[in-house]
Amino acid sequence: MAEAPPPRDDTPDTPHALPLLYGDDDLVIVAKPSGLLVHRGGFTRETDVAMARVRRQLDRLVWPVHRLDRGTSGALVFALSPEMATALGRLFADGAVEKTYLALARGTAPAHVVVDHPVPKDEGGERVPAITELRRIWEGPRCSLVIAAPRTGRFHQIRRHLKHMSHPIIGDTNYGDGAVNRHFRAQFGLLRLALHAHALTLPHPRTGAPVTVRAPLPADLDAPLTALGVPEALRVDPLA
């Protein structure tokens, strides 16, 4: 499987620019930080969103084709034309995009499990089938580092599935444990949702060639994991 080229170093010196993981004439993949919305929608009045930042960086229109929760960091895809947005959106909807997340979960998660549990497809929607493969790669004090590979794309799927397994993601204010979140905030400086979209592979809509990117851990997640004692090799590339 071909690996995407390393991040380009010709990104414009734009305030709050997002690291570019991959780019061509049809699509770009950036590294979204935790705390940033993908785009405006619903009742939000926020103007500083990932889509606006990428538009300023590239000085052109871009179209979001999938979403990451506000608290989730990592690889985020934008199309550079309406036609490509439709094609990429279809790939995500058809399950043709391989997504791999890194999560810090409460307690000792199973070594390997496939969770088949229905969750809402969209916020407020009815429950639909949802499947996530979970694999524990490290165990620490009152926590586990988990690789999560969702086979479907539902609302808060990974967060809901780990909650369903009684191993909610640390820092999750919706589905997590408040006392545990406060402990990890005070002891290890974890101030965010401990969920990161680490790797993404998709067939290029125009050529069919596989495009693979890996988003490095941002400092606000890497530092707490370092303090917990997670080995450097797992923090650099948990899939290696």
CATH architecture of residue range(s) 20-229: 2-Layer Sandwich (3.30)
pLDDT tens per residue across span 145-192:
999 999 998 999 999 999 999 999 999 999 999 999 999 999 999 999
User: CA–CA separation, 182 vs 169, rounded Å?
Assistant: 13
Half-sphere exposure of 213 (CA within 13 A, CB side): 26
pLDDT tens per residue across span 12-46:
444 589 999 999 999 999 999 999 999 876 566 77
Question: What residues are annotated to the active site?
Answer: 69
pLDDT tens per residue across span 58-94:
999 999 999 999 999 999 999 999 999 999 999 999 9
Determine if the pTM surpasses 0.75: yes
Predicted confidence (pLDDT) at residue 11 exceeds the cutoff of 50:
no
Residue whose entry in the numeric block shows the structure tokens 């998660």: 109
Identify the pLDDT of residue 42. Answer: 58
